[in-house]
Amino acid sequence: MNRKISHLGIAVKDLAASEQLFRKLLGAEDVHHEEVDDQGVRIASFKVGESIIELTEATRPDSAIAKFIDKRGEGIHHIAIEVDDVASELTRLKSEGIQLIDETPKQGAHEMMIAFLHPKSTNGVLVELCQRG
């Protein structure tokens, strides 16, 4: 099974300001912008080697990112692991006793199918599984 770190998701209050900060930090000009209406987020992502740093801003107050920032403030929101088949990984992990947030994959950013694992089962870290579409 092919696995690698796809991206680190960072929850931010102000996407434009955070994008400028990360442009400076990474010395990068190339940035990908995308909005995922289903999840209520807008992203700006930077390629760093084979991985991505994904800055994520809420577009509505009931989104998971808005709730995360209200509770914990800005910062690392999740780590995403790319796998060959999200659906089969969800089945495998559920059989191993891992608590799932998403029982089935859904469409995410970067044309990927995604699903989240509950932090209660992953040492307090929100883990996203993703599969290239």
Q: Which domains does the chain have, with CATH numbers?
A: 3-132 (3.10.180.10)
- Spatial separation of the C-alpha atoms in residues 37 and 28, rounded to whole Å: 26
Could you tell me how many helices (H) and strands (E) the chain has, helices first? 3, 8
Q: To the nearest whole number, what is the mean pLDDT of the chain?
A: 95
pLDDT at 29: 84
- Spatial separation of the C-alpha atoms in residues 113 and 129, rounded to whole Å: 8
The predicted-structure confidence for 15-62, as pLDDT tens digits, reads as follows 999 999 999 999 988 999 999 999 999 999 999 999 999 999 999 999
Please state the pTM of the whole predicted model.
0.90
On the CB side of 53, CA atoms within 13 Å amount to 18
- Spatial separation of the C-alpha atoms in residues 18 and 70, rounded to whole Å: 17
pLDDT at 70: 97
pLDDT at 2 over 80: no
